[in-house]
Structure 1
Amino acid sequence: MNYVETRLAKLSRNGDRRAFAELVDMYKDKLYHLAYRMLSQAHEAEDIVQETFLRVYTNLERYDENQKFSTWIYRIATNLCIDRLRKRKANYSLDAEMPDGEGSDWYSLLPSDEATPESELLLSETQHNIRKAIDSLPEKYKSVVILRYLHDMSLQEIGDVLDMPVTTVKTRVHRGREFLRKKLENEYGGKNL
């Protein structure tokens, strides 16, 4: 339990703007990364971050101090992302191409001291392939895979964020991983996977 966050939430609830600003500073980048990975669009990720903090601020009375603040704020952000995905599902293909260079830094796989043009090209292709495969995941697997592998959350934390049993999370992580493996093998011949 992070007592600093709980204390800041209490202070914010009582009208302390500096305490709320500290919470924003602590979470704005993490929430942006989460939203960007789920939605693959920078402007939508920024909207989600703003909407998340707006909801947090207007619902501080509802925050249960026995729960981790991070779980609560991640649940809000994840639900907003899922709602956004559902709304655009009818007119947006999850296989759509990413604009060149947008978000490429979020998917850096291996830092290299001496990157050659060939290795940078291979790395950017690999990043693109992984990003495309994650984008093509069915909605119910996408959020658990992103939270598990890109935000390094435990199965219990994911269960808390998504409000589902750990057994369901475990199944969805496994099936999502299998879906990704098959997708990458089929489309890219299984090279270096």
Structure 2
Amino acid sequence: MTQKKLVKAAKSGDDDAFYQLILLNKEKLYRIAYSYLKNETDALEAIQEVTFRAYTRIQKLKEDQFFTTWLVRIMINYCIDQCKKNSRMVGHEMDLENVKELQTDRPVINFNKLHIERALEMMEPKYRSIIELKYFQEFTISEIAEIVERPEGTIKTWLNKGLKGLRSFIHEEGE
């Protein structure tokens, strides 16, 4: 069954069709969640929450062919909210035990990747989202425009500004 038919069936109340749609998009959702949340447990929790939100709101999907972009948009919004929530909590709950947990939870990464991750974390969310969707999730400019509901020209501008900011940060850190 095609994705479009699965969406129609899911909107009609077919739980199995909805489940199939989630399975088709599970890996993409996980990669997005992990790129924002940097933690497997949080990424899996994000998938659960986004699945629930999509399930309860599937009737609001206007264009069946945009199911994937709609689902990705829900995931990005959830992740941005979680990042904001976590940044407010960092000062209050960070103790030695949490730091040890963070150190063992992440894979060993090279210095250049660490630089880029730090730079991305410091960027405005709109620029960060565009860069992550384009270069880490490999979406096209037109797909990103659909996801964030902005014109392609705006996406190109944000991508350009984001990349300039990224280069500037990396250059400053290198000195």
Q: TM-score w.r.t. structure 2 length? A: 0.82
Residues 52, 80 of structure 1: 8 Å contact kept = yes
The superposition leaves residues 77-108 of structure 1 with CA deviations (integer Å, 9 ceiling, x where unpaired) of 11111222233333348xx989336454xxxx
Identity across matched positions, percent: 29
Among candidates 132, 141, 151, match of residue 137 of structure 2: 151
Which amino acid in 1 is paired with 2:140? S
Shift of 1:34: 0.3
Residues 101, 141 of structure 1: CA spacing in aligned structure 2 closer, same or farther, 3 A cutoff? farther
Q: Which has the higher helix share?
A: 2
Runs of 4+ with >6 A deviation: none
| Distance (Å, rounded) in 2 between the aligned partners of 1:41 and 1:138 | 21
Find the aligned partners of 2:151 and 2:85 in 1 and give their Cα distance. Answer: 26
| Residues 118-139 of structure 1: per-residue CA shift (max 9 Å, x gap) | xxx8x72222222222222222
Instruction: State the partner residue of 1:10.
Output: 8
Aligned: 1:52 with 2:55: no
Of the candidates 152, 174, 181, which is equivalent to residue 160 of structure 2?
174
Q: Give me the TM-score of the superposition, normalised by structure 1.
A: 0.75
Count of aligned positions: 168
Within a 5 Å distance, the mapping from 1:35-50 to structure 2 comes to 35-50=33-48
Q: Give 1:178 shift.
A: 1.1
- Please give the secondary structure, in 2, of the residue aligned with 1:68: helix
Q: Which runs of 5+ in 1 are unaligned?
A: 105-120
SS in 2 for 1:100: helix
1:24 to 17, 22, 25: 22
Q: Tell me the distance in 2 between the aligned counterparts of 1:126 and 1:102.
A: 19
**What is the identity, as a one-letter code, of the residue corresponding to 1:181?**
R
